[in-house]
Structure 1
Amino acid sequence: MYPVDLPALDETDLTSASELYLSALESPAHHNNDVFQSSQTSKVVITASNVRRLQLFEDDRADCTLLALHLPDDPTQVVALYLHEQWWDVKDILRTNSKSRSGLLMVQSLMERVIVFLLSQVLERSSEEEALFSPHPRNECCKLLWREGQAVGFYTIKHKGSLCDSWSSQSYLLPVLDTVLVRKSWRRRGFGLQMLQDFCSLFNTETFLGVSAPLSPRMAAVCRRFLQQHEEHQERLYEVEAPGCWSQRRNIWLKLQLGKYSLYVNEKRISASVERNEEDSSQKVQADNSRLKSASLHIDIEDIPPPISSSMEQIKACDSSQGGRSPSSKISETGCDLPAHTDDLNSGPPTRPAKSRNTKQTPTSKLCHSAESGLEKSEAEKTQRSVKRVRRF
């Protein structure tokens, strides 16, 4: 039999038994060197120096204390608790022989609250770490997760309408999932998802549900996976601060999509994410380059005066370099319009507003004029050479 399977204790019995034992241990007449032997540690001598009181609940009412035995050189490492007038290994306190304890069950007895206290305050931390959570109130709504004859996790709830604290009159405006814990040796088995789903199912008539802020990286990862699997809760689940008015709510799914959370993932997932990001970046660069290549080349040139008949061939030469279009298609109010060839385009060229006739002459216009003057000069030189040949004869 384990402590949770023994007859129920009340707070008075637990506290009085602890005080009597501690008084006897501190008495000068006490000479017995009691020793506690656990399966995980060597023998620990029980003295007044390595036994201390632990407050079970967080409130202003009369204290409910129990005794904890810790290692002589490390007060944070608790090895046993004094329950039912004897010392129990902390791992045994988490066990049960009752087959009815399976799955998520509401906490009802004082011994079950001791188990929640052990999980949140004593276990799952090293000597350098602080307690995972502050002590819970004695009336806190909790559910323990039982698997294979032992308690492996729990979650607590702040009910709608319950007081936020003991010193103000503020009450929660919606049900809030306050704390969630799964023992390290039982993680990565989907128990966090199971508890989150159980919480949502417990309040299936509520329009909105809350998760206490701030979300840890592990909890954010659990919420992301849960909301990916249950889209009906994406508009329902909010990260909230007490008491949970609208200015204190933030939609969890929206924050996940915006990348506002630091998610807990293993190294394999991190590297895969980096590879995906690099691949996405490469594809984006290629797409940008493709768009640049397909963009039309649109050059606006100053008005050209009407060409004289002797320079019509030069105008035709310019037209032939632009894809073989007729001269009339190139003469407009804006002068010569030179779009890219059709084999370089994915779509029609963008339109540009007409430029004023008073704009400064562009290099392309100068090129056309220089070509015209060059041809006139060539014809003059040919005539001059012909005259010289006539003179020789």
Structure 2
Amino acid sequence: MAFPVDILENCSHEELENSAEDYMSDLRCGDPENPECFSLLNITIPISLSNVGFVPLYGGDQTQKILALFAPEDSLTAVALYLADQWWAIDDIVKTSVPSREGLKQVSTLGERVVLYVLNRIIYRKQEMERNEIPFLCHSSTDYAKILWKKGEAIGFYSVKPTGSICASFLTQSYQLPVLDTMFLRKKYRGKDFGLHMLEDFVDSFTEDALGLRYPLSSLMYTACKQYFEKYPGDHELLWEVEGVGHWYQRIPVTRALQREALKIPALKSRSGFSCHHCH
């Protein structure tokens, strides 16, 4: 069985959106007393104009949209997306039938951009984000990103702001070094060195003498960094925790950041949670 990431290999945004517009036209003309239904596990969801809508695929960029079906009890959580002329459940969108799609693969096709969106906006933000974690902004249509595939399923991703790319928060400034901006790994795959694998891949993919990691370090990144320095003790001066675009006054060695976080852990255990500002 082929999945959206396989089917949309050569599909354009225009084709995807036109297909969705045609579906919406049919829905407006349909019989509201006899609606089409979408089956999800043990639930049957009637499809109507009240629980279907377009959502921006790239966040602030409203030009490219995809059609989403929302749960009746939660109008903010998409349970399916309309792709390749049919509805697909979220869990199926992150699957692939292509055996060669294994390990870390750079995002290039529309289908892969949709998988990245689902992992970030739906699986991470709606299902797996802890109270003290920070939601990521949507990735843009041109962001450098890689998806981690494991046995036919997308289980994580990381994205990078390369040197010279423009900072969304400071449009007149560009990144001074490559910055690993977002990293996510599904909870059921944590504790198996996949975070370390993504960090190693980031280091291997960029040749600069200094590489940045977005402040504040997530728990996943914190663990990956500890493992990395245990494995590569000579790289202590390579990785920097970065704010903003990474000017020399906006970065500290990751080794120092790890020491800071180690001091925080006992304090955090006595508190219910905390929040931080995430600058992009």
Q: Give the shorter-chain TM-score range.
A: 0.7 to 0.9
Residue 99 (1) aligns with residue 99 (2): yes
Q: CA deviation at 1:250?
A: 0.9
- The residue type paired with residue 229 of structure 1 is K
Corresponding residue of 1:6: 7
2:45: which partner in 1?
A: 44
> Given residue 14 of structure 2, which amino acid in structure 1 is its aligned partner?
T
Q: Aligned ranges for residues 15-164 of structure 1 at < 5 Å?
A: 15-27=17-29, 32-38=34-40, 40-60=41-61, 63-124=63-124, 125-126=126-127, 132-164=135-167
Q: Which residue of 1 aligns with 2:239?
A: 237
Offset of residue 229 of structure 1: 1.8
Equivalent residue letter for 2:121:
Q
| Unmatched segments (≥5 aa) in structure 2 | 270-280
Partner secondary structure for residue 64 of structure 1: strand
Equivalent residues of 2:128, 2:186 under 8 A apart: no
Partner of 1:180: 183
Partner deviation per Cα, 1:139-168 (whole Å, 9 max, x = no partner): 000101010011110000100011112861
Out of 168, 172, 180, the residue aligned to residue 169 of structure 1 is 172
- Between the aligned partners of 2:104 and 2:253, the Cα distance in structure 1 is 27
The CA RMSD measured in Å over matched residues stands at 2.6
Q: Report the Cα offset of residue 221 of structure 1.
A: 2.5
- Does residue 202 of the first structure (1) align with residue 205 of the second (2)? yes
The 1:166–1:80 alpha-carbon spacing in structure 2 relative to 1, beyond 3 Å, is same
Q: CA deviation at 1:71?
A: 1.4
Residue number among 215, 218, 221 corresponding to 2:217 in the alignment: 215
Query: Structure 2 vs 1, CA of residues 23 and 55 (structure 1 numbering), >3 Å: closer, same or farther?
Result: same
Secondary structure of 2:68's aligned partner:
strand
Q: Write 1 or 2 for the structure with the bigger share of strand.
A: 2
1:28 Cα deviation after fit: 7.0
The alpha carbon displacement at 1:85 in A equals 1.0
What TM-score, normalized to structure 1? 0.62
Mapping of residues 218-367 of structure 1, within 5 Å:
218-259=220-261, 262=264
**SS across alignment from 1:232:** helix
- The structure in which a higher percent of residues are helix is 1
Query: Tell me, what secondary structure is at the counterpart of 2:258?
Result: helix
Q: Please give the alpha-carbon distance, in whole angstroms, between the structure 2 residues aligned to 1:186 and 1:194.
A: 12
Q: Check conservation: 2:167, 2:175, Cα contact below 8 A.
A: yes
Distance of 2:213 and 2:169 partners within structure 1: 21
Deviations 1:102-151 (A, max 9, x none): 10011110010000000000114349979832111110001010100111
Displacement after TM superposition at 1:217 (Å): 3.0
| C-alpha contact (below 8 Å) 1:152/1:186 kept by paired residues | yes
User: Unmatched 5+ residue regions in structure 1?
Assistant: 268-393
Query: Paired residues, what number?
Result: 263
User: Which moved further from structure 2: 63-72 or 13-22?
Assistant: 13-22
Question: Which structure has the larger Rg?
Answer: 1
The amino acid that maps onto 1:95 is K
Cα distance between partner residues in 1 of 2:217 and 2:139: 19
Following superposition, the deviation at residue 30 of structure 1 comes to 5.7
Question: Which AA in structure 2 matches 1:202?
Answer: S
In the alignment, which residue of structure 1 is the partner of 2:277? none
Q: How many angstroms does 1:242 deviate by?
A: 2.1
Higher relative contact order (CA 8 A, sep 6+): 2
Aligned-pair distance for 1:259? 4.9
